[in-house]
A and B are shown apart, each in its own frame.
Chain A
Amino acid sequence: MRAPRIFLAAIAAAGLFALPASVRAADDHAPAHAPIKIPEQKWSFDGIFGTPDLASAQRGFQVYSEVCSACHSMRQLHYRDLTGIGFTPEQVKAIASNFTVPQGTDDAGAPKEGPATPANMFRSPFPNDKAARAANNGALPPDLSLIVNAREGEANYIYGLLTGYAEPPAGFKMQAGMSYNKMFEGHQIAMPKPLNDGQIAYIDGTPTSVDQMARDVTTFLTWAANPEMAERKAMGVRVILFLGLLAGVTYAVKRKIWADVH
C-alpha cells in the first residue's frame, strides 16, 4: 500500500518538474561551449501575487515610444490596451493622437494616413520585414509584443540584454556594424546599444539611468506579453481557495460515508 503511493508521488513529481526542467536546462546550454548565465533580478511581477508595477510600466511605455519604436514593432497591441497599465481613456486618446498611422484609403482610393485613435494598432516603424532589414544592416528587429515570453530567461534576459553592452574582450573578433553584448548568444548583436544614461526625460521626473530605463521597459514588455497577468493571478488565488475548501468538504463527506466500511 505504502510503496505505490510514494512512487506515485515520485512519478508525478518527476513528470511535472524533472522533464520540463530538463527541457529548460537543455535550452540554457544551447551553445555547448559558452553557456550564458542570466542573473536573476527582483521584479514587481514575481511570484503568485506579483503584478507589473504600473508606474514602472508607464515609464517603460515612454522608453518604448521614444527609443525602441524607432526599430521595433508591437503588432499585437492596440492603443486602447494601454488602460491596462493605468492610463485613463482620455490619456490613451491623447497618447494615440501623437502617432500617425495608416487610415484606410481616401475617396480616390489612395492610401491615407492620420492620427491614431485608441482602436488603432500600435504604429509599426517599417511597412514590412524587408524594409526593416534594409534599415538595420540586414538584421531584423523582432516584434516586441511577445518578446518576454519568447526568450529563455524571460524578463531577466531582456533586462540583461539591455544592460549587457560592453567593450569586447581583447582578441574577440567583431564584425562590422555589430556590438558586443554579454547576454546575447554569440555575443555579437546587430542592435546598437539602445539605452544611454539621461537619453530621455521621464514625465514623472525619475532619473533616466540605463538600469532604470531597462527595468521600466522590461516591466512594460512583460505586461505587453501577459496583459492578463493581474486578473489571472487574482482569479487564481480565489479559484485555488475555493477548490481547496471544496476538496476539504468532499474529503469530510467521504470519511463519513466510508466510516461504516472497515
Chain B
Amino acid sequence: MAGLHKSEVTNPVLNWIDQRLPIVTMLQKEYGVFPTPRNFNYFWNFGALAMVTLMGMIVTGIFLAMNYQPNANLAFDSVQHIMRDVEYGWLIRYVHQNGASMFFIVTYIHIYRGLYYGSYKAPRELLWILGVVILLLMMATAFMGYVLPWGQMSYWGATVITNLFSAFPVVGKYIVTLLWGGFSVDQPTLNRFFALHYLLPFVLVGVIFLHIAALHIVGSNNPLGIDPKGPQDTLPFHPYYTVKDSVGICVFLMVWAAFVFFAPNFLGDPNNFIEANPLQTPADIVPEWYFLPYYAILRSVPNKLLGVCLMFGSLLVLLVLPWLDTSRVRSCRFRPTYKWLLWLWVLSFIVLGVCGAHKPEGVWVVLSRLATLYYFAHFLVITPILGKLERPLPLPESITQAVTGRPLENH
C-alpha cells in the first residue's frame, strides 16, 4: 500500500525521514524493544564482540590499503613504510594484525557457545548455516590477508595452501593455476589476493546482515535452551543487553589492546619479518595459530587428497549438524552425558591445534590421528546415536521459574 509510514518518532527531522524510510522504527524494533531472553550469560556477548572486531578490521584495513603496495617488489617495504613513516601506521597495522587473531578467538568461542547450548537446532538451522558461511569467508579473508605483507611465511604459506587444490583429480591443476594467475605464487597472486582481501570483508558484512535478520525472525536461544513463554521471560534488548554487551566490549578491547601495545608480535611468526624468497624454503612452514587444528587434520593422513577432503570436511560437517543431532533438548545443561563428550570434542580441537604446530612425526602423528578421529566421530556417530539414548534432565517449566525459583505467576 502506498503512503507514508506512521512514525511515532517525536524529533521532526527523524520523523520526516522515518515516514519515508522507517529505519528509526526498525532500529527501535530490532535493537530497542526487541524481546530478548532474560537469562543470557556472558557467552552471549561474543556475537557483539565479533561485530566490533569486524568493524575494527574494516576501518584499519582501509587505512592500511591507502599506504600498501600490492606489488611483489614493493609489498614488504610498503608494510615497513606503514610501520615507520606513516603517522600512527604502526598502531593501525598492529590493530589489524592482532585483530585477525582476536576475530578468530571470539568467533571460535561464539561457535562453541552455539554447540553447548544447542543454538543450531530447529528453528535456528539456517541461522547456524549462515554462521558457518561466515566462518569460511573469514578464513578465506584472513588467509589472503596474511599473504599481503609478503614475508617468508606469507609466501610459503600461500604456496602450501594453494597447492592443496592440486590434490583434486583432473581439475586440481587448473584450480591452482587459476588461484596463482600463473605457474607459481607471484605478482598476479599477490594482486588478486589483495583485491579479494579488500572485497570479502564486505561480503561478510552482507552475510552477517542475513545472519542477524534470521536471528531476529526466530529469536535468540538462551542458556536453558527452552523457548520464552511470555513477556515475563524476556527483557527489551535496550538497555539491558546494550549495557551488558558494553561491559563485554570494554573487557575485550582491553585484551586486544594488551596484545597490540605490549606483545604485538607474540602471535606472529619471526619468519614473516624476512622478505619472501622463492628460492629459500623455511625450515618449518606453519600457518597462523587459528588454522593449526585444520592443518593438523590435513597432515594426519598420509594421502594428500584424503587429507584435503578431511580438512574441508571438518568444516562442512558443521553445516549438517542440525540434522545429525537427534536430541530434542537444546542446552547441554540438561544433557548429562553429551555435555562431557562435547568437552572432549573441544579437547580434540585443542589437541589438533597443538599437533598442527609440530612436524607430523612420532607421537604427533598418533595424537593428531586420534583427535581427528574423535573430531569426526563426535559429529557423525556420537551426536546422532546419543541423542536417542541419552536421558535428559527434567527441563524447567519456564525461564522465569528457573531464574527466580518462583513458579509462573499466571499459572
Contact = CB atoms under 8 A, between A and B. Distances in A.
Contacts of B274: 142, 146, 150
Given A1-B41, A19-B292, A247-B250, A261 B240 contact: yes
Contacts of B243: 250, 253-254, 257-258
B65 interface: no
B350 interface: yes
A151 B246 CA distance: 39
B357 A26 contact: yes
Contacts of A232: 90-91, 94, 261, 264
A152 B282 CA distance: 13
B311 interface: no
Contact of A1 (B38, B77, B223): B223
A20 interface: yes
B133 interface: no
Contact of B257 (A27, A152, A236, A261): A236
A154 B283 CA distance: 17
A12 interface: yes
A11 B267 contact: no
Counting chain B CB atoms within 10 Å of each CB, the highest count among A23, A149, A261 belongs to A23
A3 to B, nearest CB: 8
Interface string B236-247: 000110011011
Consensus secondary structure, chain B interface: helix
Contacts of B109: 8, 11-12
A227 interface: yes
Interface string A221-237: 00001011000110111
Contact of B357 (A19, A76, A233): A19
A240 B251 contact: no
Contacts of A243: 250, 253-254, 257
Interface residues of B, number: 57
Nearest to B259: A16
Interface in A108-152: 142, 145-146, 149-152
A233 B43 CA distance: 31
Contacts of B350: 11, 14-15, 18-19
A146 B286 CA distance: 20
Contacts of B404: 262
A246 interface: yes
A48 interface: yes
A235 B286 CA distance: 32
A30 B283 contact: yes
Contacts of B257: 236, 239-240, 243
B34 to A, nearest CB: 16
Interface in A154-172: 154
Interface string A1-29: 10011011001101110111011011100
A244 B254 contact: yes
A81 interface: yes
A251 interface: yes
A261 B91 CA distance: 41
Nearest to B104: A15
Interface in B12-62: 38, 41-43
B346 A11 contact: yes
11 contacts: A11-B346, A20-B266, A20-B267, A145-B80, A232-B91, A232-B94, A240-B258, A247-B247, A250-B246, A254-B244, A261-B235
Interface of A: 1, 4-5, 7-8, 11-12, 14-16, 18-20, 22-23, 25-27, 30, 48, 75-76, 81, 142, 145-146, 149-152, 154, 225, 227-228, 232-233, 235-237, 239-240, 243-244, 246-247, 250-251, 253-254, 257-258, 261-262
Given A7-B343, A22-B357, A240-B254, 15 more contacts: A8-B42, A11-B108, A11-B346, A12-B105, A14-B353, A15-B105, A19-B353, A26-B359, A150-B271, A151-B270, A152-B270, A228-B90, A232-B261, A257-B243, A262-B404
9 interchain residue pairs of minimum CB distance:
A236-B261, A247-B250, A150-B273, A228-B90, A146-B273, A23-B357, A149-B273, A19-B289, A22-B357
